[in-house]
Chains A and B, each alone.
Chain A
Amino acid sequence: MSAPAAETWLQVRPEGLYCVPGDFFIDPLRAVPRAVITHAHADHARPGHGAVLASAETLALMRARLGAGAAGARQQPVGLGEALTLGGVRLWLAPAGHVLGSAQVAMEYRGQRVVVSGDYKRAADPTCAGFEPVRCDVFVTEATFALPVFRHPRAGDEIVKLLASLALFPERSHLIGCYALGKSQRVIALLRQAGWQRPIYLHGTLMPLCRLYEALGVPLGELRPVIGATKAELAGAVVLAPPSALADRWSGRLADPVTALASGWMQVRARARARGVELPLVISDHADWDALNATIDETGAAEVWVTHGAEEALVHAATRRGVRARALRLIGYGEEAGEDGGEAP
């Protein structure tokens, strides 16, 4: 191979993954002059950067979460698939299927192509564009659920479980913990797909992002703030709240709630029990074990860099299939309280 080793132009630095010729970081962990952001989750989209390049939706979500002042001094929206060149590096974004606006970062330099996945999933999601595999030489993949016990069921089947519980306990509120960005809107959209027409009640912190999703073209049906709802209205109702708020006192107004949590971690019972959940819903916005491995193979990459989770198992499995694999050991992702159930691996 005549191309230089990817490590020579794409390096792990304390701030995060750095593209040397392009002079930018991808999802840096602290404020930097130039950042490319895969998606608006707080562990990927940190405040205070100089220039920020991302999808228009990601930029809108960042402004809503961080405040316009902290979401990058200069914001450069780029459409999915639209290529530009930075310091000799050809760069474009491809859909990642994780949350609205989420993207993979594809880069070409001196005939070599590297794709950084960001967070991604392969399962269908009515609230965002589906993942598109991009052929590449080096694939930098997340590994949040990279253990062979994580084989997530169809999200629709989990919604069927929720509806069965609503039918069995028609007097009880069903309080579902879901991360504010992405998971909440996906759960609402899945409920609507399954025919749940009634108003869905939201903890105060979820409303702004749901409204923004709707403004960005994702309809969610009738949403009401839980504040101000009567006990009678909340009996048998679906109520969404961030996972961190499940045990709070405000939920005292709910009618004998069935506490649910929508997260990929719910696949392991001890994790669900540790959260005190009565109805675990295995709904994940990350690729499961089978999807991670299938995606690595689909990219055709000869080399895989693994970050963000259970690196050891995925490196082992990829190596067994003849793919060169190593762990990047970037520290700081997936640790935001609340993301996908609020638990770092």
Chain B
Amino acid sequence: MKPFAALLERLAFTQARGAKLALLQRYFAATPDPDRGFGLAALTGGLRLATARPAQIRALIAARTDPELFALAYDYVGDLAETVALMWPAADEGAAPPGLAEVIAALERTPREAVPGQLAAWLDRCDASERLALLKLITGGLRVGVSARLAKVALAGLGAGGVAVEAIEEVWHALTPPYGALFAWLEGRGERPDPAGAPSFRPPMLAHPLEADDFARLDLAAYRAEWKWDGVRVQLAAGPGGRALFSRGAEDISAAFPDIVAAMGFAAVLDGELLVVREGMVAPFADLQQRLNRKAAPARLLASHPAAVQLYDMLFDGEEDLRALPFDARRARLEAWFARARPARMGLSPLLPVAGRAALAALRDGAREAGIEGLMLKRADSPYLAGRPKGLWWKWKRAPLTIDAVLLYAQHGHGKRGGLYSDYTFGLWREDGTLVPVGKAYSGFTDAELTFLDRWIRTHTVARFGPVREVEKTLVLEVAFDAAQRSTRHKSGVALRFPRISRIRTDKPANEADRLDTLLGLIGPGKD
């Protein structure tokens, strides 16, 4: 547990990609099997463990510490696992912490109700940094900013000669933790593992954001336009060896989307956008979120939140690799294949007319309804390349909308921003002169703005409800968001898509903040 805990601690504070790679590589090189393989699995989301709920963790610490002191400490730290890791009374000074492999093997055979007791016994053997790693592992909240892709890049450089990261991707989904065969291959001690026809992930092609001057320079005749759907980018890989639905980050999300997997009775690798669609209408992103991050999908949810895919591209037709073909040729293959295969729950994302800059800009700005974030512009001759090659694909999001809102409540952020008030509820004025909450924002601010807001909140609190502080209704925040949608679940009758703080308007008195009516006026036509 010690090397893994030390790795997590460094990664938690490391931003630079090169430094993360160095830390990962040292961990993989210096940690013995099978611990390093389980560490790899933990980082890449490859572990399915019996977990403990926050309430169970609270019960453990309540049995060992004074509740008033715990409340003060938790309020200060803001993160449950971290508070518990720091406060846990040291038990056996001399005891060795459990190894990662030991923890994982035990969790696999421990019944769910016995997990808290087992966890407590381990915590007694750990120091604070190991306790935090263990708690994050068991509560499923590692979040150290390492993508599966990055871990594989680190692995690619592990052996003396190195291997291509694509070669790792191709065998990856045939492997299971603790990846003994993989390490043996990478270190030149064994054969390359056989993917045996299992569906494998191909690194997707990504787009650059289009800035105004890029747009002015673009030779539009060479480009094709598509909607940029507001869902989750996915790769569908199916063949005789099996079927898998992958996220953009190579995570296998098949288990959460059995409805899509059931419709994949074909042999192809496709690129598309995952959405929730009801009666032909794309639902707000929040509805898709209900389906994500699940280990299984209950039948009720499958019926109420049906998933669908808008197809963009075709990487493989059967065994045939199309990635070197130009976009137009792949598109033709995709259309021909689609006409033959007619897969359920899937549609072809339409090509849009490219009739000059002004028309294109109007098309982008007019696309206000749910489900569309803007436009994609793709060079007609672009091959399908892994990563984010320059100048081939552009994403052109429509401009964000903004409102001036009044800060109403604040809460501690979790994880990264624990301890600081970084979760803001804001509201707008109603006809009758009262403020109604319209949304929450957790991002968009700079570190300096966060420090300012945290201080302001601490000194302008008028009431506290558990972890929530109600503040004086005097601070105006400019909030940017991508779209406003009608919602019956919100008191205000409106839900904002991706609201974030764009500016702190200390220059603006609260009575000049926007009215709810103004926001309702921004709700796009076509959907009600």
Contacts and interface: CB of A to CB of B under 8 A. Distances in A.
B128 A153 contact: yes
Interface string B11-25: 011110001001100
Contacts of B22: 168-169
Contacts of A271: 419
Given A149-B86, A313-B69, A313-B72, A274 B14 contact: no
A272 interface: yes
A343 to B, nearest CB: 10
B130 to A, nearest CB: 12
B64 to A, nearest CB: 11
A6 interface: no
B12 A269 contact: yes
Nearest to B76: A147
Interface residues of B, number: 36
Given A149-B87, A280-B13, A312-B72, A270 B451 contact: no
Interface stretch (B77-85, B112-120, B262-270, B375-383): B77-85
Contact of A148 (B87, B419, B420, B447): B87
B450 interface: yes
Contact of A268 (B13, B26, B70, B76): B76
B255 interface: no
A70 to B, nearest CB: 31
Given A147-B76, A148-B73, A278-B13, A168 B417 contact: no
Interface in B51-88: 65-66, 68-70, 72-73, 76-79, 82-83, 86-87
Interface string A191-234: 00000000000000000000000000000000000000000000
Given A147-B76, A168-B22, A313-B72, A270 B14 contact: no
Interface in A154-195: 165, 168-169
B73 A149 contact: yes
B418 interface: yes
B26 A168 contact: yes
A77 interface: no
Contacts of A79: none
B66 A320 contact: yes
A255 interface: no
Contacts, number: 84
Residue from A149, A267, A320 with most neighbouring chain B CB atoms (10 Å): A149
Given A268-B76, A269-B82, A277-B13, A148 B65 contact: yes
Contacts of A151: 86, 90, 128
A278 B82 contact: no
Size bracket of the A interface: 20 to 34
A329 interface: no
B77 A149 contact: yes
Given A168-B26, A278-B14, A316-B68, A273 B417 contact: yes
A226 B472 CA distance: 47
A80 interface: no
Given A147-B73, A273-B417, A274-B420, A267 B13 contact: no
B72 A147 contact: yes
B86 A267 contact: yes
A318 to B, nearest CB: 12
Contacts of A270: 77-79, 413, 416-420
B137 to A, nearest CB: 16
Given A149-B73, A168-B26, A274 B128 contact: no
Contacts of B451: 274
B74 to A, nearest CB: 9
Given A148-B87, A153-B128, A269 B79 contact: yes
A279 interface: yes
A124 interface: no
Contact of B13 (A149, A169, A272): A272
Residue from B70, B76, B420 with most neighbouring chain A CB atoms (10 Å): B76
B76 A169 contact: no
Contacts of B450: 274
A276 interface: yes
Contacts of A302: none
A309 to B, nearest CB: 12
Contacts of B79: 269-270
Nearest to A280: B13
Contacts of A66: none
A270 B83 CA distance: 12
Nearest to A317: B69
B45 to A, nearest CB: 22
Contacts of B90: 151
A316 B65 CA distance: 13
A151 B87 CA distance: 8
Contacts of B19: 169, 258, 278
12 contacts: A147-B72, A148-B70, A149-B76, A149-B86, A268-B418, A269-B13, A270-B79, A273-B417, A274-B420, A313-B69, A313-B73, A316-B66
List of 6 A-B pairs having minimum Cβ-Cβ separation, nearest first: A270-B419, A149-B86, A270-B418, A149-B73, A313-B72, A148-B87
